Amino acid sequence: MRQNIAALAAGSLFGLGLVISHMVDPLKVQAFLDVAGDWDPSVAFVMVGAIPATAIGLIVGRRTGHPLLAADFAQPSERRVDARLIGGAVMFGAGWGLVGYCPGPALAALGNGASNTFVFVAAMGAGMAAFRFFPFARHTRVA
Amino acid sequence: MSQFTPVSAVLGGILIGLSAAWLWVSLGRVAGISGILGAMTRPDASWRLAFLAGLIGTPMLIAVSGGSVAWRAPVEQWPILIVGGLLVGFGTRLGSGCTSGHGVCGMARLSPRSIAATAIFMATGGLTVFVMRHAWGV
pLDDT at A135: 74
Going by C-alpha positions, the residue among B126, B77, B76 that lies closest to residue A37 is B126
Top pLDDT among A139 and A70 is at: A70
Question: B33-58: per-residue pLDDT in tens?
Answer: 999 999 988 888 899 999 999 999 99
Mean pLDDT, rounded, for A15-24: 98
Q: From CA A4, how far away is CA A20, in angstroms rounded?
A: 24
pLDDT at A140: 52
Mean pLDDT, rounded, for B107-115: 97
What residues of chain B lie within 8 A of the CB of A137, using their CB? Answer: 93
Question: A85-106: per-residue pLDDT in tens?
Answer: 999 999 999 999 999 999 999 9
- The answer to whether position B125 is within a domain reads yes
Which A positions 75-94 lie with beta carbon below 8 A of chain B? 76, 78-81, 84-94
Question: Chain A closest CA to B44's CA: distance in Å?
Answer: 11
What residues of chain B lie within 8 A of the CB of A77, using their CB? Answer: none
Q: In chain A, where are the structural domains located?
A: 2-138
Q: Is the distance from CB of A7 to CB of B47 less than 8 angstroms?
A: yes
What is the percent of chain A where pLDDT is above 90? 87
- The answer to whether position B115 is within a domain reads yes
Q: Does the pLDDT at position B26 exceed 80?
A: yes
Helix (H) / strand (E) element for A99: namely: helix A83-99
Mark yes or no for CB contact B16/A38 under 8 Å. no
**Could you tell me the pLDDT band of residue B69, with boundaries at 50, 70 and 90?**
very high
**Could you tell me the pLDDT band of residue A134, with boundaries at 50, 70 and 90?**
confident
Most distant pair of Cα atoms in chain B: their distance: 47
What residues of chain B lie within 8 A of the CB of A133, using their CB? Answer: none
* Residue B80: domain span: 75-138
pLDDT at A139: 55
What residues of chain A lie within 8 A of the CB of B33, using their CB? Answer: 14, 102-104, 107
User: Which residue from B69, B72, B100 is facing A27, i.e. has the nearest CB?
Assistant: B72
pLDDT at B40: 87
Mark yes or no for CB contact B54/A92 under 8 Å. no
pLDDT at B1: 47
Which B positions 4-63 lie with beta carbon below 8 A of chain A? 4-6, 8-39, 46-60, 62-63
pLDDT at B20: 98
Structural domain count of chain B: 1
pLDDT at B42: 82
- Quote the ipTM score: 0.96
Q: Indicate the burial class of B16 (C-beta count within 10 angstroms; 0-12, 13-18, 19 or more).
A: buried
Mean pLDDT, rounded, for B65-81: 96
Q: Does the pLDDT at position B13 exceed 60?
A: yes
Q: Does A139 touch chain B (CB under 8 A)?
A: no
- The answer to whether position B66 is within a domain reads no
B98: CB partners within 8 A, 6+ apart: A92, A102, A103, A104, B32, B33, B34, B88, B92, B121
Mark yes or no for CB contact A127/B85 under 8 Å. yes
Question: B86-105: per-residue pLDDT in tens?
Answer: 999 999 999 999 999 999 99
Mark yes or no for CB contact B25/A10 under 8 Å. no
**Could you tell me the pLDDT band of residue A143, with boundaries at 50, 70 and 90?**
very low
What residues of chain A lie within 8 A of the CB of B101, using their CB? Answer: 142-143
- The answer to whether position B49 is within a domain reads no
Amino acid (1-letter code) at residue B119? A
Which A positions 46-75 lie with beta carbon below 8 A of chain B? 46-58, 60-61, 64, 66-74
Question: A35-82: per-residue pLDDT in tens?
Answer: 999 999 999 999 999 999 999 999 999 999 999 999 999 988 888 999
User: Which residue from B9, B69, B124 is facing A49, i.e. has the nearest CB?
Assistant: B9
